Amino acid sequence: MTRSATTAHNSTAGADRLTVRQLGVNLGALIEGIDLRQPLDESACDAIRAAHAEHGLILFREQDITADQLMAFGARFGELTVHPFAPADEARPALIRFENTADNPPFGTDVWHSDETFRTAPPMGTMLYAKEIPALGGDTMFASMAAAYDGLSDRMQAFISGLEAVHDIKPFKAIFGDTPEDRVLLQDYEFRYPPVTHPVVRVHPVTGRKVIFVNPQFTIAIKDMDERESTALLQTLFHQALIPENQFRLNWGPGQLAFWDNRSVQHYAVHDYYPQRRVMERVTIAGDEPVGVAAADPASVRRAKDKIVGKVGYGGHTPKGD
Ligand code: SIN
């Protein structure tokens, strides 16, 4: 985006300048008072880190940054990772560039997912920056999987808390052709990225909240369950991301940057803008191996907050007598 009314200043931004305004009940906050072209001091990074974990999704509006500045900002929060399949910038492998046009339709992001859960240690967070947005459509949806967990019944929470699920690169297999070369290449990827297991309920390492950690893009089965049981349970858990109370819908503005917590949030890119042009740049930041409820330090595990979904209150409605 082009910024005409704002002039750059060369001081270091600290936590005293930035404000965090909550935007959604279960996730989403806006960070203001910060220009991402300028260096950030450690106090600002700490404040951003805290808001990221607490709100799951943080937004920065009207930024005007280059790809290198996006990468430098991401690198303040950890090592940048290289996606094995996404369209990367040739000179900068850690920079994903989604440049979708009539001739290059978006692929594979209109499915609820956390990024790269086919890895043993999926990313802790992802930054997505709007370079060119369509006149209409092209929103991104987010779901708090901590709120999704809180919304389950006590019995379901207890049942799923010791389970593990299998995650796989399956959606990317479609990009390989049916030629001998492609079959060899796919075999090589399957060898490098074999299916991995993660706890179905992960404990967030910062907030201690329990999070549903299965997603319809990469999770293929619940370990040690009959296929029919596994499918039924996964469908039930996938459904939690579809509950509007657990969601936040981001309508992108020019130069907007979203930084989501990949440990607790799923997302879905709405492909309704196609065939309009939409250009986004993305970096992902390395994370840790997910820890389940049994392996987590009991003192760090937070109790589920009061449930909204499933709570029997009837909203003040009472039966009327004649
Ligand atoms: C993604 O899944 O990272 C892409 C999200 C988007 O393009 O809105």
Task: Please tell me if the CB atom of residue 53 comes closer than 6 angstroms to any atom of ligand 1.
Answer: no
Q: What angle do CA 287, 169, 273 make, to 5 degrees?
A: 90
Atom 3 of ligand 1: nearest residue by CA position:
109
Q: Ligand 1 center to residue 268 CA distance, Å?
A: 7
**DSSP tally for the chain: helices H, then strands E:** 6, 15
Domain positions in the chain: 19-308
Q: Which amino acid is at 139?
A: D
Among 35, 115, 150, 168, the one annotated catalytic: 115
- Could you give the CA distance from residue 73 to residue 151 in angstroms, rounded to a whole number? 34
Q: Ligand 1 center to residue 109 CA distance, Å?
A: 6
Q: Is 282 a catalytic residue?
A: yes
Q: Is 267 a catalytic residue?
A: yes
pTM recorded for the entire structure: 0.92
Q: Ligand 1 center to residue 188 CA distance, Å?
A: 26
Domain 19-308 sits in CATH 3.60.130.10: yes
Give Cα 8 distance to the centre of its chain: 31
pLDDT one digit per residue (tens) for the chain, 322 residues: 333 323 333 456 777 889 999 999 999 999 999 999 999 999 999 999 999 999 999 999 999 999 999 999 999 999 999 999 988 888 999 999 999 999 999 999 999 999 999 999 999 999 999 999 999 999 999 999 999 999 999 999 999 999 999 999 998 998 899 999 999 999 999 999 999 999 999 999 999 999 999 999 999 999 999 999 999 999 999 999 999 999 999 999 999 999 999 999 999 999 999 999 999 999 999 999 999 999 998 888 987 765 555 455 677 787 887 6
Tokens of 247: 């969601």
Residue 251: HSE in the Cβ half-sphere, 13 Å Cα cutoff: 3
